Structure 1
């Protein structure tokens, strides 16, 4: 199974899930004892080790069900974005002096104006756009639209035939959506819309009453057949009254409140259990539309970009193009 032992406490890798164990691993990686890269001042490990660890943390959340070789070949963008830190703007001054010395006043003015705008607005956190192609997958879209408890459950919904793509049954979870595609999910397969079983509560008084009733079973056997229990009758009555309201039940998973948000590039309709993929995720200064548990402009993303900028695959032959996952552009 693709989701076997994914919440292992020893590894402690955050995943696309609302499971309580996943929330605990996220806390351990962000503030707990497993914090390894973020908020560090001195680094005793090598730079290559830190890059690999950052890559493992991000890949565990963004598409851990995708093979690493396939991810580097088909899901990384052709040109990776520039994730230089803000301190790199200080290096613009020597270039400006060279342009002025070479009498390139127009080029110097444009560069100075651009540097000033970047200082005021800040650089866009484009490092998270490495995972734009992963966010286009139909199973990830279903999870982002809050129709499944995890991306692994969303994959099973697609494979089992509970999902429609533009009104037609679709069973390929590797499909990347195009802007304007509509994905519909069968309401019977959504766990959010199912009634929770009522918990059975027993205390000492109930146990004593049950023992006394068992001792007097021979005397009240005929009465117990004709007179129903008051607690059972009230329980059935309350269930029937809630079902007659005409409202659809919506039950959140435990500890789901910190993750209940929908990205701006999706337009869900909970009345019809469908979602429209509006456009591809983008980023602007101070904001990234790709949901991630890490800082979109932080060191984890920057080290991951440095890892993939040297190891990504650039050659795609005809035989490889024939095996490319379904991409609706």
Structure 2
């Protein structure tokens, strides 16, 4: 990347990262002094400026590690029927004539009842969520998507049991990604430094969990070593600070932390009022809608299925 200053406090652009600086920028964008920058309810900015600001925010989180030319080709997986395309145009408010036609058609079919549309703008990032580096980050096996990319490029990731070093690969349903446990930072024991006090060293020792089903030994105050819960030779787990806002796994992934692997079960979906794609912005909000409108105008011509099948990184 040309700009290595990812967590600049002046720009405060949220990224796919667990760092404290990113959490602070995310708070500033949602509740802090920069929350009104993406509020276009009462603004003097032109429509072009609004779309560009929304595109800048969305691009920083969902695609700052992707080339702009490649990101323009990202498109949602929706049906291509004329009626559904008309509904998408109505949702994006691209044409008043289409809006009137859809409203009249629904009144004839449903007797005047309005049908709620899914947040199709968030589906624009469904192809990004298929990337192998993003899947590793969503599975909570890397602190950031940049760490996940380094894991893939350095040959520390297996795709279906074989070493894979292309970070641009888009997974197909059923693909399994395995990560070397030695490169997952929070599975490594802490190395005590010389300036650490005895209290800090005691706090870093693994905590012993007492099981409700274990029988205590009256001759010893220590728990039974035969119980695997009390076995100190197990893999340590050092959760980084301020990680709780990011510890979640999307519904389309099946993660096994015992084997450090994740299965890409299916493509992300969305329904009215709900989207499976994680995003710091409202999936049906103004920022995502304006960004969708921006890329719908600058997006290049649709590729055919034959052209998409020839792409080596797309596994369909």
Same fold? TM cut 0.5: yes
SS of the equivalent of 1:116 reads coil
Matches within 5 A, 1:294-313: 294-313=281-300
- Are 2:292 and 1:289 equivalent residues in the alignment? no
TM normalised by structure 1 equals: 0.75
Matches within 5 A, 1:70-89: 70-73=70-73, 75-77=74-76, 82=88, 84=90
Shift of 1:33: 1.7
Shift of 1:77: 3.9
Matches within 5 A, 1:44-123: 44-73=44-73, 75-77=74-76, 82=88, 84=90, 109-110=108-109, 112=110, 116=113, 118=115, 122-123=116-117
The structure with more helix, counted as a fraction of residues: 1
Shift of 1:61: 0.4
Matched length: 283
- 1:82, 1:127 within 8 Å by CA — same for their partners in 2? no
- Are 2:149 and 1:152 equivalent residues in the alignment? no
Q: Which runs of 5+ in 1 are unaligned?
A: 100-106, 203-230
2:161 to 167, 170, 175: 167
SS of the equivalent of 1:272 reads coil
Whole-angstrom distance in 2 between the partners of 1:201 and 1:270:
30
Matches within 5 A, 1:15-26: 15-26=15-26
SS of the equivalent of 1:276 reads strand
Matches within 5 A, 1:1-329: 1=1, 4-73=4-73, 75-77=74-76, 82=88, 84=90, 109-110=108-109, 112=110, 116=113, 118=115, 122-198=116-192, 200-201=195-196, 245-314=232-301, 324=311, 326-329=313-316
The structure whose RCO (Cα within 8 Å, separation 6+) is larger is 1
SS of the equivalent of 2:49 reads helix
Please give the per-residue CA displacement for 1:103-142, whole angstroms capped at 9, x wherever unaligned: xxxx8542x25x6262xxx332221000110000000000
- 2:92, 2:293 within 8 Å by CA — same for their partners in 1? no
SS of the equivalent of 2:255 reads strand
Change beyond 3 A, Cα 1:98–1:323:
closer
- 2:89, 2:98 within 8 Å by CA — same for their partners in 1? no
Change beyond 3 A, Cα 1:323–1:94:
closer
SS of the equivalent of 1:154 reads helix
Please tell me whether Structure 1 or Structure 2 has the larger radius of gyration of its CA atoms: 1
Coordinate RMSD, CA, aligned: 3.5
- 2:90, 2:99 within 8 Å by CA — same for their partners in 1? no
Whole-angstrom distance in 2 between the partners of 1:93 and 1:137:
35
Change beyond 3 A, Cα 1:97–1:4:
closer
Q: Which runs of 5+ in 2 are unaligned?
A: 79-84, 209-229
TM normalised by structure 2 equals: 0.78
Shift of 1:83: 7.2
Structure 1 moving runs of 4+ over 6 Å: 78-81, 90-94, 96-99, 240-243, 320-323
SS of the equivalent of 1:263 reads coil
Shift of 1:251: 1.5
Whole-angstrom distance in 1 between the partners of 2:252 and 2:102:
39
